[in-house]
Amino acid sequence: MNLILLGMPGSGKGTVASWLQEKYLYRQISTGDLLREERKVGTQLGKQVEVIMNEGKLVSDEMIIELVKKHIKTVGFKGVVFDGFPRTVFQAKSLDETTNIDQVIFLKVSEKIVVDRLLNRSDDSGQRREDDNERVIKERIKVYMENTQPLIDHYEKKCLLTTLDGGVSIENVRNKVKEVIESL
């Protein structure tokens, strides 16, 4: 069973996806994490995407599709949970051709809440992401509205979309996601 998590930056996709990987054995494919890993290792791709990511723009569809292909492994997993992918209609159509998607969960959160979350978040070691500053957050939200929001329609038409309130506690969101998955 393959899932997609949709939602604005800061809507909680990563938190839910890593929980699904640990608890329910879904393989998490987070294109943002994969890109950050490429940057850390210093690969050619990593170097190419650095400026784009720091500006909150989108990496090219071709690069992203190639990256996802490289990492999509389902052996030993219940399926895949995509987080941060697809992000454009082009990416969604390309995914439609190769992978059967069983459910798309849209974590709906207000802009105010996501801006607050992104301005206040840091990782386990207290590090803050370079793109979590006010100017770039505004850009990421704009890019989301223009490129990713149309996917809600795309999956609604395919009758695959479930909308959940992502503005509540993590535990609450997890419980709702659990209900959706168990009903499939």
Chain positions contacting ligand ADP, by CB under 6 A: 9-10, 31-32, 35, 52-53, 56-59, 64, 84-85, 87, 91, 131, 140
- Report, in Å, the least distance between residue 54 CB and ligand ADP: 8
- Report, in Å, the least distance between residue 60 CB and ligand ADP: 7
Calpha distance 174→179 (Å, rounded): 9
Contact 14, 32 (CB under 8 A): yes
Q: Which of 88, 105, 95, 76 is nearest to 15 (CA)?
A: 105
What angle in degrees, to the nearest 10, is found between the helix axes of 134-143 and 111-120? 140
Question: Closest-CB residue for ligand ADP?
Answer: 32
Calpha distance 50→72 (Å, rounded): 23
* Two tokens, residue 124: 């386990």
- Report, in Å, the least distance between residue 59 CB and ligand ADP: 4
- Report, in Å, the least distance between residue 182 CB and ligand ADP: 26
Letter for the amino acid at 179? E
DSSP class of 27: E
Instruction: List CB contacts of 100: < 8 A, sequence separation 6 or more.
Output: 2
Calpha distance 40→17 (Å, rounded): 21
Which CB sits closer to ligand ADP, 57 or 78? 57
Which CB sits closer to ligand ADP, 149 or 179? 149
Which CB sits closer to ligand ADP, 118 or 181? 118
- Report, in Å, the least distance between residue 183 CB and ligand ADP: 26
Calpha distance 5→182 (Å, rounded): 16
Which CB sits closer to ligand ADP, 52 or 89? 52
Which CB sits closer to ligand ADP, 91 or 103? 91
